[in-house]
């Protein structure tokens, strides 16, 4: 379930009967606490807080959230140095790309993502003998490493940030257009569509499009582009779009 998704803030909860993992805390601790309450959880019951990278839309709520939970923050070395001024150093632990961590009955693996933030990371969270979920957001392109890590998961939260034509014709100044559309920026609908097809062909059954730009995309544009790219595979995949400023539905995978 995503609590928020996009440049205004990102946070999501992955949970089963015994384990609760928060991924990113880019909205206020108050909003995260309210979203947790809606599914019967509290910050103090979190097993881990994973952080993909240091941008504010993924970390804004961390300092206050850490006062409400004793869960550790797990992130890459690059992101750890970036967030440590905001977060107590003894609360931040480093997960090396490719390594695995256990929380309750879940395993977390991280992988590097090409983004303009030091140590930007994606995660695959899998349940013992069960489903697996990849977080693939905030990346300029799908690299061999992203493919290696994410192909084969049963579900993915996949960035579908902008429509290329809307970005080109839109109001952003040229340097920002170049950053967003560049190799270390954000995935376009077209790129998301291509990777969605690869994920579906590798067995993914549930795709949640995320981190949509509110300026250079619309939920309908993103969904249409990715559904078209899925082609024949569309019938076997549940395709949804994560709302920007509110909680998504709960996806059972
Ligand atoms: Zn970012
Ligand atoms: Zn972001």
Please name which ligand lies nearest the alpha carbon of 159.
Answer: 2
Quote the ligand 1 centre to 56 CA distance (angstroms). 8
Question: Separation of 250 CA from ligand 2 center, angstroms?
Answer: 21
Q: Using the mean position of ligand 2's atoms as its centre, give its distance from the Cα of residue 23 in Å.
A: 12
List the chain pLDDT tens, one digit each, 253 residues. 999 999 999 999 999 999 999 999 999 999 999 999 999 999 999 999 999 999 999 999 999 999 999 999 999 999 999 998 889 999 999 999 999 999 999 999 999 999 999 999 999 999 998 899 999 999 999 999 999 999 999 999 999 999 999 999 999 999 999 999 999 999 999 999 999 999 999 999 999 999 999 999 999 999 999 999 999 999 999 999 999 999 999 999 9
- Domain 1-96: which topology? Metallo-beta-lactamase; Chain A (3.60.15)
The pTM of this model reads: 0.97
CA–centroid distance, residue 75 to ligand 1 (Å): 14
Distance of CA 10 from the midpoint of ligand 2 (Å): 7
* Residue 186 Cα to ligand 1 middle (Å): 8
pLDDT for res 85: 86
Q: Which two tokens stand for residue 149?
A: 């890590």
Ligand 1 centroid from CA 18, angstroms = 30
**CA of residue 117 to ligand 1 center, whole Å:** 7
The secondary structure of 131-171 as a DSSP string is -EEEEE-S-SS--HHHHHHHTT-SEEEEE--B-HHHHHHSS
The ranges assigned to domains in the chain are: 1-96, 131-243
Rounded to the nearest angstrom, the distance between the alpha carbon of 116 and the centre of ligand 1 is: 7
């Amino acid at each position: 379930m995503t609590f928020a998704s996009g440049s205004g803030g990102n946070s999501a909860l992955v949970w089963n009967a015994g384990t609760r993992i928060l991924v990113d805390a880019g909205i206020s601790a108050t909003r995260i606490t309210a979203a947790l309450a809606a599914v019967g959880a509290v910050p103090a019951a979190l097993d881990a807080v994973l952080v993909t990278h240091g941008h504010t839309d993924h970390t804004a709520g961390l300092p206050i959230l850490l006062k409400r939970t004793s869960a550790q923050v797990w992130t890459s070395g690059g992101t750890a140095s970036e967030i440590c001024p905001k977060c107590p150093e003894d609360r931040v632990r480093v997960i090396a790309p490719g390594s695995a961590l256990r929380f309750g009955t879940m395993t977390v693996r991280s992988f590097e993502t090409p983004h303009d933030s030091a140590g930007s990371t994606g995660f695959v969270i899998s349940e013992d003998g069960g489903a697996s979920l990849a977080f693939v957001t905030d990346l300029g392109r799908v690299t061999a490493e992203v493919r290696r890590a994410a192909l084969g998961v049963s579900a993915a939260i996949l960035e579908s940030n902008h429509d290329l034509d809307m970005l080109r014709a839109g109001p952003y100044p040229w340097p920002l257009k170049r950053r967003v559309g560049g190799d270390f920026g954000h995935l376009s609908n077209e790129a998301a569509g291509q990777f969605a097809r690869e994920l579906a062909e590798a067995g993914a059954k549930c795709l949640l499009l995320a981190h949509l730009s509110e300026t250079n995309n619309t939920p309908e544009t993103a969904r249409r582009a990715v559904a078209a790219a899925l082609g024949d595979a569309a019938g076997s995949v549940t395709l949804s779009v994560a709302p920007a400023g509110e909680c998504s539905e709960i996806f059972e995978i």
